[in-house]
Amino acid sequence: MGSILARIKIRGRHNLPKTGPFVVACNHFSDYDPVFFSYAIRKPISYIAASDQEIEWVFAWAPYIYGWIPVDRRNISPSTIKSALSVLKKKQILGIFPDGGVSYNLLNEPKNGAVFLSTLGNAPIVPMSIYGAERAWEGVFKGIRSRVCINIGKPFGPYQLSKDRQKKKDQLKVIGNEMMCKIASLLPENRQGPYKGNPSIKTNQKRNKIIPDHHLYFKPQEE
């Protein structure tokens, strides 16, 4: 469906592990991101999604097709953890938008879920970015296939967390910040939010060999 809605450019698909388990952590600028998320990965994915997230009526079928694990934004329940770990134990893929909701054009600070589940499930995290999707559905009604850019970075982790509560809390914050910087490195500078200017962004861009497009006037292609 993604290719029907938009003209898509994907870079870095070779960074995806050949087999699971792994966690894909992505920015969330649009309600339509899961469509393009799935198009890029091209393997079955179970998504962690806010239980109170409103879904456009035309995409009401999506949670049942893609796999949906509901989560309370304020707190991860034992049932959510159990469902997510079940996915990883089956060597499957877990998709997470770590900023906890649609942030509309700018990256936000993360919730702890992506890092926490990655460590519990002993699964690496693959950073990914999607931008341009926020115009896709509107473009359809105008007879225009919008341009969407998807960048996939190299996997990192998993890490071991301390058993000490405070140390664990500090680790989650540090690793979460690292994760968001890796996602930011896959986004144009004007979309990086609080991570703009972080020196690790250029380091990650060199490592990934991906410099994000600052405009979306490209010829659709895949690498």
Q: Please report the pLDDT score of residue 133 as a whole number.
A: 78
Average pLDDT over residues 65-76: 67
Query: What pLDDT digit, counting tens, does each position of 110-155 carry?
Result: 999 999 999 999 999 999 999 987 766 665 555 566 789 999 999 9
**Before 158, cis peptide (omega within 30)?**
yes
Strand (E) or helix (H) holding 63 = helix 62-66
Here the tokens at position 160 are 């071991």
Query: What pLDDT digit, counting tens, does each position of 176-212 carry?
Result: 999 999 999 999 999 999 999 999 999 999 999 999 9
> Using CA atoms, how far apart are residues 194 and 181, in angstroms rounded to an integer?
9
Query: What pLDDT digit, counting tens, does each position of 50-63 carry?
Result: 655 555 544 555 55
**Dihedral of the alpha carbons of 118, 106, 75, 152, in degrees to the nearest 10:** -20
pTM: 0.86
Q: What angle do helix axes 113-120 and 78-89 make, rounded to 10 degrees? A: 50
**Contact partners, residue 71, CB within 8 Å, separation at least 6:** 48, 49, 50, 51, 77, 80, 113
> Using CA atoms, how far apart are residues 207 and 175, in angstroms rounded to an integer?
18
> Using CA atoms, how far apart are residues 47 and 87, in angstroms rounded to an integer?
10
Q: Is 76 exposed, middle or buried (0-12, 13-18, 19+ CB in 10 A)?
A: middle
